[in-house]
């Protein structure tokens, strides 16, 4: 197939295997695959504002891979797989903005190790996804990218902070995407967009080359539509191994680094038989309301399925497991953020126009003033790891980690389960993303796989309902076990559905060059002004 002819490739719900089948049987070219996703973005992104920029080299890279394909030189488990990066990952050829006006000209000269790993496996970086500005909250609005809209209910947020990735992957703008997670941010968008995600064990994947917030709590990972693609993404990201730029990677055992998580998926009929799953009662909101009842009803159906599949459910009622109380006592982001951001901005791998420090950025006036977020930033101006309260919190984190391990041991658990969010994802204009349960894994460094659990009842605003997700939390470096559980759940209890507004084929345009995407910043709620602290 030569340039000028259109492929019939349909990117809806496309998988790695599906793209490769189309390529290797001659049904599509790599340029045609990339063009099909670009066409979907051009058609549907104006509605949900999920993609903040496109990679100008995506089509030329596709042409190079077509030449390799024609020569029979096909290597890499992600050959010609279009992916999106959350716009806090460094990728050569694109700016890394964090969705922030002050960082609009921040241009890396080196890929983040995870981005390099994707490229080395043949992936095509299609572009960058919007996020909550600098990943500091969970409603996915930024001064540079505007407000991202939930594709299932255009009156709600897409979760966050990786909400641009979540909304984009839900609408099939790429095969999978990346996110970051300091408290909830790989899992919240997966839950709110009927997707799967993995927050890896602390130390499994290097965080270098990604705009940081917290050395203690930050994690990077992937968001996908199915578990096999998620497992492949994890295999690539975890395969980097030790990275001197992120010394916590020294914690990962060799068998976790070299593992092929996708190849180890079994989809066995007895995958859940005899497993003991602890239900964290404190992570449910048992008060009935329009926002909480749909979550509780979806989870009740999921629990029935798990029991029918042979899992034993264990009610864990320890008062320790209260997400709000844990976050209030032990969240250390404000003590680490200024130091971490200063380190990133002073790094040798940045070029272009960007502030040189935390102080310079937050006195520039080029940022979003969201009350919950910038009360946090004001605290970060004064707080640091030298505060006495920081040492107390770190001791508390150690105690929480020990208590969590003891819960697993005392109850002989294989995993803990709970709704990712106690209530439906919040509506546009909300002051914060309330009711999320991600803090436990963030502080203890535990792995979590998030799976779709159900939908709220359909409504005029949400034609097929609002997605609801469940977390599976395990012991360190049990990602393979969690992914096998998730693979069984998602195939035997299928929940995933496309958002109805984007569930239609799009004619693939024959692009000469990659189109320019201009995010809609006019949709930022009026209560989130851009200004000075």
DSSP 357: S
CB 196, CB 470: distance < 8 Å: no
Q: Using alpha carbons, select from 400, 449, 525, 499 the residue that is nearest to residue 137.
A: 525
Average pLDDT over residues 492-508: 96
CA dihedral 491, 159, 257, 119 (to 10 degrees): 100
Query: What are the structure tokens assigned to 504, written together?
Result: 């239609």
Average pLDDT over residues 8-32: 96
CB 231, CB 483: distance < 8 Å: yes
Please, which residues have CB within 8 angstroms of residue 168's CB and are 6 or more apart in sequence?
Answer: 41, 45, 48, 50, 51, 84, 129, 174, 177
What are the contacts of 103-108 at 24+ separation with CB within 8 A? 103/144, 103/354, 103/355, 103/361, 104/144, 104/353, 105/352, 105/353, 105/354, 106/350, 106/352, 106/353, 106/354, 107/350, 107/351, 107/352, 107/354, 108/209, 108/349, 108/350, 108/351
Across the chain, mean pLDDT equals 96
Average pLDDT over residues 423-445: 97
How does pLDDT run across 462-483, given as a tens digit for each residue? 999 999 999 999 999 999 999 9
pTM over 0.95: yes
How does pLDDT run across 148-185, given as a tens digit for each residue? 999 999 999 999 999 999 999 999 999 999 999 999 99
Query: What are the structure tokens assigned to 430, written together?
Result: 């909300």
Whole-number pLDDT of residue 191: 98
Number of alpha carbons in the 13 Å side-chain half-sphere of residue 436: 29
CATH number of 16-497: 3.90.1300.10
Q: Phi and psi for 67 in degrees, rounded to 5?
A: -65, -40
How does pLDDT run across 504-526, given as a tens digit for each residue? 999 999 999 999 999 999 999 98
Whole-number pLDDT of residue 2: 40
Burial of 161 (0-12, 13-18, 19+ CB in 10 A): buried
Whole-number pLDDT of residue 5: 52
Q: Is the pLDDT of residue 41 over 80?
A: yes
Give me the residue label for tokens 């390529």. Answer: 23
Whole-number pLDDT of residue 4: 46
One DSSP character per residue, 451-488 reads EEEEEPPP-SSSTT--EEEEEEE-STT-HHHHHHHHHH
CA dihedral 269, 270, 275, 279 (to 10 degrees): 30
Tell me the residue ranges of DSSP E strands in 375-519.
Answer: 415-419, 448-455, 467-473
One DSSP character per residue, 152-218 reads S-TTB---SSTHHHHHHHHTTSSSEEEEEESSSTTHHHHHHTT-EEEEPPTTSS--TTB--S-TTT-
Each domain of the chain, given as residue ranges in start order, spans 16-497
Whole-number pLDDT of residue 249: 98
Distance CA 365, CA 370 (A): 13
Other beta carbons within 10 Å of 330: 22
How does pLDDT run across 369-406, given as a tens digit for each residue? 887 777 888 899 999 999 999 999 999 999 999 999 99
How does pLDDT run across 298-353, given as a tens digit for each residue? 999 999 999 999 999 999 999 999 999 999 999 999 999 999 999 999 999 999 88
């Amino acid at each position: 197939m030569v340039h000028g002819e259109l492929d019939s490739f349909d990117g809806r719900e496309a998988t790695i295997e599906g793209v490769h089948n189309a390529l290797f049987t001659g049904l599509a070219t790599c340029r045609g695959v990339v063009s099909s996703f670009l066409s979907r973005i051009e058609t549907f992104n104006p509605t949900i504002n999920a993609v903040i920029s496109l990679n100008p080299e995506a089509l030329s890279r596709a042409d190079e891979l077509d030449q390799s394909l024609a020569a029979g030189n096909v290597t890499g488990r992600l050959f010609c797989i279009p992916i999106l990066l959350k716009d806090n990952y460094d990728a050569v050829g694109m700016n890394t903005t964090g969705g922030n006006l002050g960082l609009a000209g921040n241009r890396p000269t080196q890929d983040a190790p995870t981005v390099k790993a994707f490229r080395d496996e043949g992936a095509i970086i299609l572009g960058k996804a919007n996020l909550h500005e600098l990943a500091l909250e969970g409603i996915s609005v930024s001064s540079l990218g505007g407000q991202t809209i939930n594709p299932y209910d255009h009156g709600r947020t897409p979760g966050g902070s990786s909400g641009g990735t979540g909304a984009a992957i839900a609408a099939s703008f790429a095969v999978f995407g990346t996110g970051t997670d300091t408290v909830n941010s790989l899992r919240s968008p997966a839950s709110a967009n009927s997707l799967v995600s993995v927050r890896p064990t602390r130390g499994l994947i290097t965080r270098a080359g990604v705009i940081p917030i917290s050395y203690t709590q930050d994690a990077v990972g992937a968001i996908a539509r199915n578990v096999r693609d998620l497992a492949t993404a994890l295999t690539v990201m975890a395969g980097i191994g030790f990275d001197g730029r992120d010394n916590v990677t020294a914690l990962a055992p060799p068998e976790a680094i070299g593992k092929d998580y996708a190849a180890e998926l079994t989809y066995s009929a007895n995958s859940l038989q005899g497993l003991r799953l602890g239900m964290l009662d404190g992570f449910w909101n048992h008060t009935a309301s329009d926002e909480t009842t749909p979550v509780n009803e979806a989870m009740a159906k999921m629990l029935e399925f798990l029991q029918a599949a042979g899992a034993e459910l264990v009610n864990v009622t320890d008062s320790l497991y209260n997400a709000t109380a844990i976050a209030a006592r032990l969240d250390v982001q404000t003590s680490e953020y200024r130091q971490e951001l200063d380190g990133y901005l002073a790094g040798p791998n940045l070029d272009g126009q960007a502030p040189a420090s935390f102080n310079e950025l937050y006195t520039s006036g080029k940022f979003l003033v969201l009350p919950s977020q910038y009360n946090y930033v004001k605290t970060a101006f004064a707080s640091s790891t030298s505060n006495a309260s920081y040492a107390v919190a770190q001791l508390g984190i150690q105690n929480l980690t020990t208590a969590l391990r003891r819960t697993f041991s005392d109850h002989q658990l294989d995993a803990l389960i709970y709704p990712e969010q106690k209530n439906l994802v919040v509506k546009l204009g909300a002051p914060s993303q309330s009711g999320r349960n991600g803090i436990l894994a963030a502080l203890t460094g535990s792995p979590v796989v998030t799976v779709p659990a159900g939908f709220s009842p359909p409504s005029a605003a949400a034609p097929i309902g609002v997605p609801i997700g469940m977390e599976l939390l395990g012991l360190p470096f049990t990602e393979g076990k969690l992914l096998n559980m998730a693979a069984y759940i998602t195939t035997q209890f299928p929940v995933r559905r496309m958002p109805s507004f984007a569930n239609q084929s799009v004619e693939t345009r024959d692009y000469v060059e990659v189109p320019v995407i201009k995010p809609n910043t006019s949709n930022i709620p009026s209560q989130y002004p851009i200004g000075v602290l």
